[in-house]
Amino acid sequence: MSVKQDLNLLMEMLAALPDPVFVLTESGRYVALIGGHDARYYHDGSHLVDFTLHDVMPKEKADWFLHEIRRAIETEGLHTVEYALGSKDLKGSEDISGPAEELWFEGRIQPISSLVKGERAVVWVARNITERHQMQAELRRLSEQDELTGIYNRRKLMEELEEKFAEFKRYHHATSLMIFDLDHFKSINDRFGHIAGDKVLRIVTRLCAAQLREQDLFCRYGGEEFAVLLPNTSLKDAGRLAERLRRCIGEHDLQGLLGENACVTLSAGVSTIRVSDSDIEQLISRSDNALYKAKEKGRNRVVIEE
Query: Residue 152: CB partners within 8 Å, gap ≥ 6?
Result: 144, 145, 146, 217, 218, 219, 220
Catalytic residue, candidates 68, 224, 243, 251? 224
Work out the mean pLDDT of the chain and round it to a whole number.
89
Q: What is the pTM of this model?
A: 0.71
Is the pLDDT at 44 greater than 80, yes or no?
no
Where residue 54 falls among pLDDT bands split at 50, 70, 90?
A: very high
Q: How would CATH label the architecture of 145-304? A: 2-Layer Sandwich (3.30)
Task: Supply the pLDDT for residue 12.
Answer: 63
Is the pLDDT at 99 greater than 90, yes or no?
no
Q: Catalytic: 162?
A: no
Which CATH code fits 3-136? Answer: 3.30.450.20
Is the pLDDT at 23 greater than 90, yes or no?
yes
Specify the domain boundaries for CATH 3.30.450.20 within the chain: 3-136
Specify the domain boundaries for CATH 3.30.70.270 within the chain: 145-304
More confident residue, 145 or 34: 145
Residue-wise pLDDT for 100-113, tens only, equals 678 899 999 999 99
More confident residue, 306 or 2: 306
Angle at 160 between CA 144 and CA 141, to 5 degrees: 20
Residue-wise pLDDT for 165-196, tens only, equals 999 999 999 999 999 999 999 988 888 889 98
Is the pLDDT at 198 greater than 70, yes or no?
yes
Cβ-contact 263, 181 below 8 angstroms = no
